[in-house]
Amino acid sequence: LSAAANVSFASRDLSPAHRVNNVRRAAVLREMLEHASDEQNASIRLAFLSLSVLTKQQLIDSGGLHLLVALLGADIARSLVVSIASLCRTDDGSRCVDYCSALAGLASPQERSVNNMIVRVVPHVVHLLNNGTDAGKEEAAGGLRALSVTSFNAKVAIAEAGAFAPLVKLLGEGTQTAREDAAGALWRLLTMMTESNIAISISVKKAGDLVALLHASSDAGKLAACGCIRLASATTDENRCAIVRARVVEPMVALLASSNDDIREEAGWALRALAYPGTEIVDETVRIRMTRASQGVDSLVAVLGDRIHANDQLSALLEYLQYDIFDVRAKTKHDHNSSDGAELHTAVVSTELESSGASLVEQSREHDRIAGSPSVAQALAKLRNRGRQLGGSREAASGLTPIVQLVQAGSERTHTYARSALSSLSMETKAAIIESGALHQLVAVIGGHASKAIIHMLTRVAASADGAGSGAGTSAADLAEELVLAFSTISVADERMGRFATGATAVVPALVRLLESGSPTGQEQAAGALRHLSGMHDNLTVAIAKEGAFEPLVKLLGTGTIVAREEAAGALWRVLGLMVRNNIDVTLSPARATDLVSMLKQSSAFGKERAAGVLALCATSDINRAAIMHAHAVEPLVNLLVHSTQAVGEAVAAALVNLAITDGDVDCAYRGWLDSAASAAARL
């Protein structure tokens, strides 16, 4: 064998005939190698080590690659490099992937010579990537993916050889295999860049190419695409916005249900990176909100990735939360769109990837103009909905239905998993859930975190003539009642309650306007809402009085529907209570006293209690007591004291006791009798 090698393969006659003869003899040697016994391997290995690089290359090219790698190990590396360089000079680079994979398999921290050879062979593979046919580019992309995993220096060599631009281009133009391999190579390059603190930028178009791999590629392609998206998302807000615009959310959430553990893990980290607040948001309130939303994403990703308690409702919730985070980020940053022609680019690689500066500037200015217009919120909402539909979301057709179902009918465990995410949804999304009929259930799950959405809805409903909302518990009175319930677990003395109540006063002017000029139904709703709010905190009660609600509430006692009169009496009871506690004089006219007395006879138990309560608060001066007595209040009050419920009886008793008191100056002969009579009335 050695003699034949020395005679035949040492020849430098490179004529075609001689080359064919050499290949034929190489095939014979390969055949012998395949059938060698274990005892022969040692001597055969010594013989093969003595062969020239050219001979080894011909053996490799004749199909002996894996046999030689197994026999010679790292000693075949030099011949592999020669073979790869030779293949890369052809158009199709046939078997380049196999050769590069074999060379990569020989690399290790101890084999420095192999690592150096890998660095030297990279430019040849990049040449094939740039100049080969579609098949050649596919081979080159696969080869670079294999080489990129060997060492940090190999990644640097690939970037410095100018592979970044053609790899990015291949994401959108190559064969399916080429696109997957390009994503795999880019994943490794982006890892190197991240470790080296090199800036990464991605356009919507190139993000879209990666998203396409999430839909229809092998597990390896999906994993590589997830890795690229994760690394690009972990850098800047511009990248995160571009990736969300490419409709990545739905397919990425879907991959949390993958049977491949690596894909689920990488998809989870990509979703977390998309929700990361970043360092570019300077507004502390927004940052706190984004941090809370990021925590909600993290909890949902953990549940969905575990797959034990995952369901479509939680998936839909994660999608909506990601889009809400995008909305906040885009509004905060006035997100600058990358042009469709822009590619992934970095400072360390070829500037061929950077698009025209003028084009980017023009688009940035246009985006700033749009972001500053009144319709920016609507535009962002349309973008969000379009993304859901085009992204193939499982809940796109039914909108918020899965989330509404989760809130209304989800188990206690599901609510526990979803609470953080639900609390972090935007005010607009929570308002949409409320409009869908889940107001009470939403408050039950997230409590005070629903307050801003309720106030938003309440302000909008109060601007209508009837304050009825869209039904399903969205009337002004219903919203105000749930707003109070949302904070029922917080003490009135808690400073948080004071801050919230001060913020909630913004809705009072709209309710007062509805009280004054709304339809009879609208007045009912406004009075009911004010009654609920007035019992929540003194700050709100003061705001109701300051905004001029007192007069229209008093007027409603005589002109409103029975429901409106009862609600007005309830609101007045609380406002008057605050006034009395602060020693503010209250004057009750005979006409209004008559209205209240009529309510003692005709209203529901609810209305009678409120009317009696108002009379008790007003019966604190002799003038008001005279007006109440002239309205013939005594008989209905005494009747209610005997025949009503305990709640009504307590309010009635207070009114009768206060009516028996005399504060003004009277003749001394009468004072003793009056005090004695008042005590007797109180005992009765």
The DSSP line for 411-468 is: -HHHHHHHHHHHHHS-HHHHHHHIIIIIHHHHHHHHGGGGHHHHHHHHHHHHTSSS--
CA distance 593 to 4: 126
Confidence of residue 673 (pLDDT cuts 50, 70, 90): confident
Looking at residue 328, its amino acid is V
Please tell me what DSSP assigns to residue 201.
B
Residue range 528-587, pLDDT digits in tens: 999 999 888 888 888 898 888 888 998 898 888 999 999 999 999 988 888 888 888 888
pLDDT score of 621? 86
Instruction: Judge whether 358 lies within some domain.
Output: yes
Residue range 246-260, pLDDT digits in tens: 989 999 999 999 999
Give how far Cα 107 sits from Cα of 117, 154, 335, Å.
10, 11, 44
339 vs 163 pLDDT, higher one = 163
pLDDT score of 22? 58
Token pair in block for residue 382: 């349309």
Query: Does 339 have pLDDT greater than 60?
Result: no
Judge contact between 608 and 569, C-beta under 8 A: no
Instruction: Judge whether 123 lies within some domain.
Output: no
Confidence of residue 354 (pLDDT cuts 50, 70, 90): very low
CA distance 472 to 236: 42
pLDDT (mean) for 51-66: 77
Provide the terminal-to-terminal Cα distance of the chain, rounded to the nearest Å: 128
Judge contact between 193 and 181, C-beta under 8 A: no
CA distance 575 to 75: 94
Q: Coil, helix or strand for 350?
A: coil
Instruction: Judge whether 427 lies within some domain.
Output: no
Crossing angle for the helix pair 237-245 and 261-275, to the nearest 10 degrees: 120
pLDDT score of 524? 93
Judge contact between 579 and 535, C-beta under 8 A: no
Token pair in block for residue 191: 């890892």
pLDDT (mean) for 285-301: 91
Last residue of a domain, one of 377, 411, 435: 377
Long-range pairs of 621-625 with CB within 8 A, sequence gap ≥ 24: 621/585, 621/586, 621/587, 621/663, 622/662, 622/663, 622/664, 623/587, 624/586, 624/587, 624/588, 624/593, 625/658, 625/659, 625/661, 625/662
pLDDT score of 130? 93
pLDDT (mean) for 123-130: 94
Last residue of a domain, one of 377, 412, 438: 377
Judge contact between 100 and 139, C-beta under 8 A: no
Last residue of a domain, one of 341, 359, 377: 377
656 vs 498 pLDDT, higher one = 656
**Owning domain of residue 650:** 589-684
Cα Rg for the chain, rounded, in angstroms? 40
Judge contact between 281 and 307, C-beta under 8 A: no
pLDDT score of 17? 52
Confidence of residue 21 (pLDDT cuts 50, 70, 90): low
User: What percentage of the chain carries pLDDT values higher than 70?
Assistant: 86
Judge contact between 267 and 256, C-beta under 8 A: yes
Domain harbouring 667, CATH code: 1.25.10.10
Main-chain phi, psi angles of 201, to 5 degrees: -135, 140
268 vs 369 pLDDT, higher one = 268
Residue range 459-514, pLDDT digits in tens: 989 988 888 877 777 899 999 999 888 888 777 777 778 788 888 888 999 999 99
pLDDT score of 11? 46
Query: Does 167 have pLDDT greater than 60?
Result: yes
- Other C-beta atoms closer than 10 Å to the C-beta of 212 total 18
CA distance 436 to 439: 8
Judge contact between 115 and 101, C-beta under 8 A: no
Confidence of residue 383 (pLDDT cuts 50, 70, 90): very low
84 φψ region: left (φ > 0), alpha (ψ -120 to 50), beta (else):
alpha
Burial of 205 (0-12, 13-18, 19+ CB in 10 A): middle
CA distance 544 to 550: 8
Instruction: Judge whether 328 lies within some domain.
Output: yes
pLDDT (mean) for 269-285: 87
Query: Does 611 have pLDDT greater than 70?
Result: yes
pLDDT score of 7? 44
Run of H or E residues at 679 = helix 668-683
Query: Does 233 have pLDDT greater than 90?
Result: yes
C-alpha 468 chain-centroid distance: 31
- Tell me which residue of 331, 226, 240, 248 sits closest to 278, measured CA to CA: 240
Residue range 110-121, pLDDT digits in tens: 778 888 999 999
Read out DSSP for 555-580? HHHHHS-HHHHHHHHHHHHHHHHHHH
Question: Which range, of 11-25, 274-288, 573-587, 664-678, averages the lowest pLDDT?
Answer: 11-25
Judge contact between 325 and 274, C-beta under 8 A: yes
Residue range 314-332, pLDDT digits in tens: 998 999 899 989 888 888 7
Q: What is the mean pLDDT of the chain?
A: 82
Crossing angle for the helix pair 112-131 and 164-173, to the nearest 10 degrees: 50
Domain harbouring 253, CATH code: 1.25.10
Residue appearing with tokens 């052809």: 90
- Other C-beta atoms closer than 10 Å to the C-beta of 387 total 22
Give how far Cα 352 sits from Cα of 144, 208, 323, 345, Å.
20, 20, 33, 9
Run of H or E residues at 8 = none
- Tell me which residue of 603, 540, 602, 605 sits closest to 571, measured CA to CA: 540
Instruction: Judge whether 288 lies within some domain.
Output: yes
Show the CA angle centred on residue 415, arms to residues 412 and 421, nearest 5°.
Answer: 165
CA distance 525 to 561: 11
Read out DSSP for 75-143? GGHHHHHHHHHHHTTSSS-TTHHHHHHHHHHH--TT-HHHHHHHHHHHHHHHHHHHHS-HHHHHHHHHH
Main-chain phi, psi angles of 494, to 5 degrees: -65, 135
CA distance 524 to 467: 9
Token pair in block for residue 378: 């609507």
What are the beta bridge partners of residue 201? 345
pLDDT (mean) for 203-212: 91
Show the CA angle centred on residue 266, arms to residues 263 and 267, nearest 5°.
Answer: 80
CA distance 322 to 44: 62
Domain tally, the chain: 2
What are the beta bridge partners of residue 345? 201
Please tell me what DSSP assigns to residue 397.
T
Look up the pTM and report it. 0.76
Confidence of residue 382 (pLDDT cuts 50, 70, 90): very low
pLDDT score of 631? 92
pLDDT (mean) for 332-341: 48
Per-residue buried b or exposed e for 470-499, using 16+ beta carbons within 10 Å of the residue's own CB: eeebbbbbbbbbbbbbbbeeeeeeeeebee
Show the CA angle centred on residue 654, arms to residues 649 and 659, nearest 5°.
Answer: 125
CA distance 159 to 189: 7
- Tell me which residue of 24, 79, 70, 31 sits closest to 51, measured CA to CA: 79
Cα pseudo-dihedral 233, 237, 243, 247, rounded to 10: 120
Instruction: Judge whether 184 lies within some domain.
Output: no
220 φψ region: left (φ > 0), alpha (ψ -120 to 50), beta (else):
alpha
pLDDT (mean) for 399-408: 86
Query: Does 264 have pLDDT greater than 90?
Result: yes
363 vs 223 pLDDT, higher one = 223
Instruction: Judge whether 467 lies within some domain.
Output: no
Instruction: Judge whether 556 lies within some domain.
Output: no
